[in-house]
Amino acid sequence: MTEADIEATDNKLTNQSKLLENEPLARYTSWRVGGNADRLFIAENIDDLQAFIKTIDSAEPIEFIGLGSNLLVRDGGVRGTVIVMHQALSELRKDGKYIYAEAGVTCGKLARFCANQSKQGAEFMAGIPGTVGGALAMNAGCYGTETWNIVHQVLTINRQGISHVRNQSEFIASYRHVEMPFPNEWFLGAWFNLEPGIAEDSMQKIKNLLATRLASQPLNLPSAGSTFRNPHGDYAARLIEASGLKGYQIGGAQVSPKHANFIVNVGDSTAMDIELLIRHMKDTVLEKQGVALQQEVRVIGEYA
């Protein structure tokens, strides 16, 4: 993107949209690590996002992030443009029989909104520490339920800035993975199909879920949620703990003593510390338990 492109884009955007250069991504990830993005864009609305994407050269890499809660950004940063959905695409409303949420809405806010609208089935979303966009992209879930179980339709955007409404049946969702049949498209929002419920019952489920999460997860330190997927019929945390890794530390990255499938930043971690610890956990569990753990955390960027 040239300086002229940036200036032209700025002239089209609302006062709330932001285009930043050489922006530290540690501010936008839950691990609080990572290098700088060449450019970082926060859109006020979908119209601004569409206008901005049209200015990006077709060869320039684009990364979309939400809360950065399932993401490791390497210390060398990210080339190209990073688009932040959180704090930007935040529309949340009842749309006929469905609940519509834009990609920047946090999963917890969606869960509470659905409960207050006397809709049941989205309570589990309160336990997902991310945004709707990220939940759609990885089929996030917890306590036996997954995002795509309640999706009716999704709204996407492509590199030309054109949006599309796609049906749930056009995607193949599996455990922590969604097959994206449309190249260079990203999720902007979704319509969720939920059953009628009782608001008080749903809110109580959410409270119980959050209490369980607080008791079992190290929420007082920066982390990215679960590091590995649960193998079929087992739990990654059990395998890691059985391998003697609870509390194991490389630099400022530590296997949480509270939950073995969490890596926490104890204060001065680098992205390399975390990546090395992930590799060590994989190798150790394979050696001692005979199980090859599958990484859940997405890694982007370049080494320092």
List active site positions.
176, 226, 296
Secondary structure class of 26 (helix, strand, coil): helix
- In the chain, DSSP finds a helix count (H) and a strand count (E) of 7, 20
Query: Rg of the Cα trace of the chain?
Result: 20
The answer to whether residues 66 and 88 touch, using CB atoms and an 8 Å cutoff, is no
DSSP for 156-225 reads EEETTS-EEEEEGGGSEEETTEEE--STTEEEEEEEE--EE--HHHHHHHHHHHHHHHHHHS-TTS-B-S
Q: Write the single-letter amino acid at 142.
A: C
Across the chain, where does the E strand assignment appear? Answer: 18-24, 36-42, 62-65, 71-73, 78-84, 92-95, 98-102, 119-120, 141-142, 145-146, 151-158, 163-167, 172-174, 177-179, 185-192, 195-196, 249-250, 253-255, 263-265, 298-300
Written as six digits, the tokens of 231 are 């193998």
